[in-house]
Chain A
Amino acid sequence: MFRMIAIVAGVGLALAGSVEAQTPRKGGTIRMTAPYGSSFTSLDIHTTQRAQDEIYAKALHRSLYIWNSAEGKPVLELAKEDVVSGGGLVHTFKLRDDAYFHSGRKMTADDVIWSYNRIMDGAKAFPGARYVRVIEGAAAVEKGQAKEISGLKKIDDFTIEMKLTEKVDPGFYFFTALTSIYPADEGAKESFIQKPIGLGPFKFVEHVPGSRIVLERWDRFYKSGKPYADKVIVSVMGEAAARDVAFRNKEIDTSVLGPAQYVAYQSDANLKGTIVEVAEVFTRYMGMNPSFKPFADKRVRQAINYAIDTDLIINKLVKGKAYRATSWLPLTAPAYDKAMKPYAYDPAKAKQLLTEAGYASGFEFEWTTSQNESWGLPIVSAVIPMLDKIGIKAKVKQVETAVLAEVVRSGDYQAFIYSQASGPDPLAALKCFHSSTPQPACNYMTFKNAEFDKIVDEAAQADDPAKRIQLLQKANALLYEEAPVWFFNYNKAVMAVQPWLKGVQLNATELTHQNVEDLWVDETSPAK
């Protein structure tokens, strides 16, 4: 299903076709861009959860699993085999015995254990702790109550046993760069931050802060014949207009497009063929605080969903660079229910629901927003008159994106508009609405529904994948009915790719995160 959606969504079909038809060329330079800000946060990838940093990390580092875009799921990367026992809680991983760090040393089980223990150092607050915490005993290390994660055991140099606290697919927890495996000896040194060493297909050459990272081919990479390219340059380019000039000038091979550029590239015959797009696992929504009296009533929340002409906003303001959200789970989630229809635009029904809830003359609320063009102030400004028609007045409170994140986590709002990861693991995404999930974790609307909890708990325990999907669909439908949010859209990620760059993967977790060893450039690339 994942592949199907990607193909339907993808405009770069000719590009994909040509990948299959040609033999990958060895050599050349891949010139990627990092579009989400002006600098990389750190060369210690354990310290940063920004999408920006993972772009270079995909070339430099490797984790236990990797995201497979074609299959739409995480697959084993540094391990060859995972044997599950103990009622689904114990995973015994047979590690690769051909993975070499860029220092030339072979990776062993000690490196995996050392890396996960490092991530759980509570005094450092590594963001990957949220994933490693699923291993038994990891939380105790984080709190300083233990020195080593008790649920991790070395069987031999290339075998580890991992005992989990709950029955989940560890692939979803250990595929991002946040859980990259570091060399235990080098990783502890101060110099590691200046010259990082990883297991990825490219090794570190140079970092010019605020400008670029340069990496070159690692000849002892464990995938035979890969990587194809000699060099990868990741340039920091936060300004869309500057990226546009550089892309047209053939100075870069990839460029993420915003709504305005998406329209411009579609209408330009020379650029239209460069567009690649995919439905990413992010849901944009307006969260409503149930402790604000009107929002405690389900009918009010439903009324808001009926009162907003969501399609109009997506088409006119977001320029079609989004997919209409039905419920929480995005198009690319395995539990997405195609049969489900979104809330219709029906102001009369909205007014009726408001009247039934005792708000016939409406009410006023404060709406906290950032300036984001796709899910911030422009959207709020368009929605306000629509809500006004049914008597609801919204007062805007504008904050910086970083502040909004804290407002959302602390619950200090009446309503907010946000973009939140709703995948790739549908169970984890829906668990955000489980009453046991703390608000700062991701239950931002402090959603509490006994029936929902029961369905999600059953899904978590289900051994049969089909049964699990069915239960998750049921939970997703219940969310639709309860409408804790205004379901706005799922992000459509759009990237322009030069015709000479091949092997681009439609990665629904983040389009800019490419498994660089699969990319290659043909002889028409202007880069040496």
Chain B
Amino acid sequence: MLSFLFRRLLQTIPTVLAVVLLVFVLFSVVPGSIVSSMSDDADPQVEMRLKKQLGLDEPVYMRFGSYIAKLATGDFGTSFRTREPITAMIAKRAWPTLQLIFAAMAFAILIGVPLGFIAALKPGGIVDTIAMVVAVSGLSIAKFWLGLVLMYLFALKLGWLPSFGYGDGGLKFLLLPAATLGVSPMALFARTTRAAVLEIMTADFVRTARSKGMSETRVVKWHVMRNALVIILTTVGLQFGGLMGQAVVVEKLFSWPGIGSLLVDSVLQRDIPAVQGSILVVVLAFLAINLLIDVLYGVIDPRIRYV
């Protein structure tokens, strides 16, 4: 197990380096320059001072080298715009983003998985039809529109929840953005669970269990559910990464102070260190969650061995 973890951690290094290189190169070639946008009507001498101050007077390969060297020590650099350390900027945003993503994922799992399960137990029935209509709709609805509808309904019409903001970070502020973000994975989980359960229900080992006289409840609980969980878990892991990207729209709509809005603002303001730092954190989170999922496979299904 430990050697497996060590090997997987080593495998993430080239992935992280590739992402860092890609982002670095992309922001070196896009049109526009932070220096000219900051210095406005300053003369060339002043622009040169600014370039030097920001470390932009060196060739790209040298800048990349020093960036990597700093990264190795945990230094993500300093924001061009705010002059704050990037780690401090990200730290302020990390908890709200985690709150949002975990709440959205909880919403998606708690509704989507049971819905798919129930639908699969009676395929073609009324529950199955309704569940799949909900699932297809959930996958198709634009988050921006859905968020506005939820705001209109639960804040303006019913008056149950605030329409925007972070407040004290409490549940009443979290519910609407989490539901908005969670609808799409909920729909995906419902479809995936349904498909997985339907497939497992016709598997040889399920038929064997039934022929041995095992009750339907025990068959579903011990054989179907457990095997379906491996497939569901894979989807959940992939969705975590997806949600970090999709959170941008929801954070902006609900004035939620997450990493997504930091990333968008940094791109628009050409704050390259902040862009690099935000993307790197998202990638690292994605890799970490997938590593965790890999570990969980073995817990759920002891047949899976770490090699």
Residues of A participating in the B interface, judged by any CB pair closer than 8 Å: 37-39, 41-44, 47-49, 122-125, 127, 129-130, 142-144, 193, 208-212, 235-239, 241-242, 245-246, 248-249, 251, 399-400, 402-403, 405-406, 409-410, 438, 440-442
Contacts and interface: CB of A to CB of B under 8 A. Distances in A.
Given A143-B46, A212-B166, A251-B163, A245 B156 contact: yes
Which interface residue of A144, A211, A440 has the most chain B CB atoms within 10 A? A211
A26 B139 CA distance: 51
Given A41-B269, A210-B262, A406 B42 contact: no
27 contacts: A37-B265, A38-B251, A38-B264, A44-B83, A122-B45, A122-B50, A123-B49, A123-B50, A124-B50, A124-B83, A193-B83, A210-B251, A210-B255, A210-B256, A210-B262, A211-B165, A211-B166, A212-B166, A235-B165, A236-B255, A242-B151, A242-B254, A245-B156, A402-B268, A402-B270, A440-B36, A442-B41
B272 to A, nearest CB: 13
Given A125-B42, A211-B256, A410-B36, 17 more contacts: A38-B252, A44-B82, A123-B53, A125-B38, A129-B42, A144-B45, A193-B84, A209-B93, A212-B255, A235-B255, A242-B253, A242-B255, A245-B163, A399-B31, A402-B32, A402-B37, A403-B31
Interface residues of B, number: 52
Contacts of A144: 45, 49
Given A209-B93, A237-B164, A39 B270 contact: no
A400 B37 CA distance: 13
B269 A402 contact: yes
Contact of A124 (B53, B148, B270): B53
A173 to B, nearest CB: 14
Contacts of B83: 42, 44, 47, 124, 193
Given A122-B42, A235-B165, A248 B156 contact: yes
A41 B93 CA distance: 14
Given A209-B93, A248-B156, A405 B37 contact: yes
B162 A239 contact: no
Contacts, number: 150
A39 B262 contact: yes
A142 B162 contact: no
Interface in B80-103: 81-84, 89, 92-93
A245 B40 contact: no
Given A144-B49, A245-B151, A245-B155, A39 B261 contact: yes
A442 B40 CA distance: 9
B165 A42 contact: no
B208 interface: no
B81 A41 contact: yes
A239 B253 contact: yes
B257 interface: yes
A170 B53 CA distance: 30
Given A130-B40, A248-B156, A402-B37, A47 B163 contact: no
Contacts of B38: 125, 127
Contacts of A406: 31-33, 36-37
A210 B261 contact: yes
A44 B42 CA distance: 20
Q: What DSSP secondary structure best describes chain A's contact surface?
A: loop
A400 B254 CA distance: 24
Contacts of A142: 42, 46
Interface string B153-169: 00110010011111000
B93 to A, nearest CB: 6
A252 to B, nearest CB: 8
A41 B38 CA distance: 13
A403 B31 CA distance: 7
Contacts of B32: 400, 402-403, 406
B257 A210 contact: yes
Given A39-B261, A193-B83, A210-B262, A127 B40 contact: yes
B164 A130 contact: no
A48 B251 CA distance: 23
Interface string B231-257: 000000000000000000001111111
A43 B89 CA distance: 12
A405 B155 CA distance: 39
Which interface residue of A123, A125, A143 has the most chain B CB atoms within 10 A? A125
B257 A245 contact: no
A441 B84 CA distance: 28
A235 to B, nearest CB: 6
Nearest to B265: A39
B248 to A, nearest CB: 9
B43 interface: yes
A41 B256 CA distance: 16
B205 interface: no
Nearest to B271: A41
